[in-house]
Copies of this chain bind each other. A is one copy, B any other.
Amino acid sequence: MPKPNPPVLEAMLRTLERRAILDESDKAAFLQLPLRLQTLEANVYILREGDRPDRSCVLVSGYAVRHKVTESGERQIVSVHIAGDFLDLDGALLNIADHNLQTLTRSDLAFIPRSAVRELIVSHPRVGMAMWVDTLIDSSIFREWVMNVGRRDGRARIAHLLCEFARRLDVAGLPIDGGYQLPMTQEQLADATGLTPVHVNRVLKALTSEGLIRRTKRIVTIPDWERLRSVAGFNETYLHLDQVARGMREDRSLV
């Protein structure tokens, strides 16, 4: 009998339980996934494009990004992850990594062997379905980012990123009292928004001087949510926060 893991997967299990109805066996199987815990420093690569991963991982604490690099060397951050995110489920199901995964801050990670994830999916399909929903929400966020970068100007792009981050931290129960720690340099913000660091600086300055945000070091405060939301054109549907409530009801009735 494998020994129970330290409570690193509990938070994730609570999320999954909202995505599908899990019985005791499902929960136990999930909690008994074999883990290897590891603490990584800031700016360390977890995975590189082209790797053939043999594991996938959960971000237990800290922040991380996924990014890609064009042939000509330009970097684009394609997603930002916070504590509790299942990073890289791709690693369990796809053969070759199509992007890099890098810590933003010092982070704790739980690595899970690829085979263990695949076995769990087959033996406990409801857990698989719940994790699948998670990856579909990631997908939805990618789609929003395509639109953010493709169809909004610099000002709205950055405002949107700030709104998304605030909302996600809030839902994850991470501390936000009107403000939050944004663990990204302006260069990284530029890589996430498809702008240059110089322009990011100017936009942040403008947003600040208009009173849309306040900044002290890297703590961002949003004095008037509705105003910033409106500048960003932020509509949280794409975060699928509703997967909680209606998901519960539906799972009970349908499967």
Contact = CB atoms under 8 A, between A and B. Distances in A.
A41 interface: no
Tallying the copies of this chain within the complex gives 2
A152 interface: yes
Given A78-B143, A151-B76, A125 B132 contact: no
A129 interface: yes
Contacts of A75: 151
A152 B76 CA distance: 10
A90 interface: yes
A233 B90 contact: no
A145 B243 CA distance: 26
Interface string A138-151: 11101111110111
A185 interface: no
A76 B150 contact: yes
A203 interface: no
Interface in A142-172: 142-147, 149-152, 156
Contacts of A135: 132, 135-136, 139
Contact of A95 (B95, B142, B250): B250
A71 interface: yes
A147 B68 contact: yes
- The SS class assigned to the A binding surface is helix
Interface residues of A, number: 65
A205 to B, nearest CB: 22
Contact of A246 (B78, B95, B114, B151): B95
A50 interface: yes
A129 B118 contact: yes
A68 B136 contact: no
B70 A147 contact: yes
A127 to B, nearest CB: 10
27 contacts: A71-B233, A74-B152, A76-B146, A76-B147, A78-B143, A93-B132, A93-B133, A94-B137, A95-B240, A95-B246, A96-B242, A98-B140, A119-B255, A121-B129, A122-B125, A122-B129, A122-B255, A125-B125, A128-B129, A132-B132, A135-B136, A135-B139, A149-B150, A149-B194, A150-B193, A150-B194, A151-B194
